[in-house]
């Protein structure tokens, strides 16, 4: 009889263990989903106005939410001066560099491709993307 009671008493403990395992799996899935929405993006600032070779001024890597705009991350990384228009933002200075009178302007690429929209319109969707802002004379 004692064996029967011992066997019966162990049943709720097993159910609790199974429930705890299910809860742990659910928590891991939720964490993976949250991480899946995060992407890594590397930003580089280059200056081509003073040297023949592209001079790297700064480089930073960020974890951001998928769909964040290029401009949102740029503003978090460095001080940015810009003007707004119906087309989007026009970046005039980054880290104090840029000069409209001398025709020094910032352009940018994402993963090596020139982007055709303003930085506040371009969304980051690919993990390990590389955003390069280049100061050029026009």
pLDDT digits (tens, 9 = 90+) for 29-79: 555 555 558 999 999 999 988 766 668 899 999 999 999 999 999 999 999
**pLDDT per position as a tens digit, 26-37:** 555 555 555 558
More reliable by pLDDT, 51 or 111: 111
Banded pLDDT at 4 (limits 50, 70, 90): very low
Copy the structure tokens of residue 57.
Answer: 């001024």
The answer to whether residues 27 and 19 touch, using CB atoms and an 8 Å cutoff, is no
* The pLDDT of residue 53: 62
- What's the pLDDT tens digit per position in 122-134? 999 999 999 999 9
Mean predicted confidence (pLDDT) in 88-117? 92
Tokens 């228009």 correspond to 85
List residues bridging with 38 in a β-sheet: 65
* 25 vs 108 pLDDT, higher one: 108
E-assigned strands of the chain? 38-47, 55-65, 80-85, 88-94, 104-110, 113-114, 129-137
Q: In this model, does residue 93 exceed pLDDT 90?
A: yes
What band does 83 get if pLDDT is binned at 50, 70 and 90? very high
| pLDDT for res 36 | 58
What is the C-alpha separation between 16 and 25, in angstroms, rounded? 14
- Please, which residues bridge with residue 42 across strands? 61, 130
How far is residue 26's CA from residue 71's CA, in Å, rounded to a whole number?
A: 35
Spatial separation of the C-alpha atoms in residues 78 and 68, rounded to whole Å: 16
What 3-state class would DSSP assign to 123?
strand
Instruction: Give the separation between CA 120 and CA 88, rounded to whole angstroms.
Output: 6
> Considering the chain, what is the average pLDDT of its residues?
82
């Amino acid at each position: 009889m004692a064996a029967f009671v011992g066997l019966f008493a162990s049943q709720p403990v097993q159910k609790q263990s199974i429930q705890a395992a299910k809860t742990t799996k659910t928590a891991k899935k939720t964490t993976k989903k949250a991480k899946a929405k995060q992407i890594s993006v590397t930003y580089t600032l280059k200056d081509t106005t003073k040297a023949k070779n592209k001079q790297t001024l700064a480089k930073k890597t960020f974890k951001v939410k998928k769909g964040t705009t290029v401009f949102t991350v740029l503003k978090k990384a460095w001080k940015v001066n810009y003007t707004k228009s119906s087309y989007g933002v026009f970046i005039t200075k980054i880290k104090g560099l840029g000069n409209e009178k001398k025709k020094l302007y910032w352009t940018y690429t994402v993963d090596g491709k020139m982007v055709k929209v303003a930085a506040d319109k371009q969304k980051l969707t690919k993990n390990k993307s590389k955003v390069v802002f280049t100061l050029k004379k026009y």
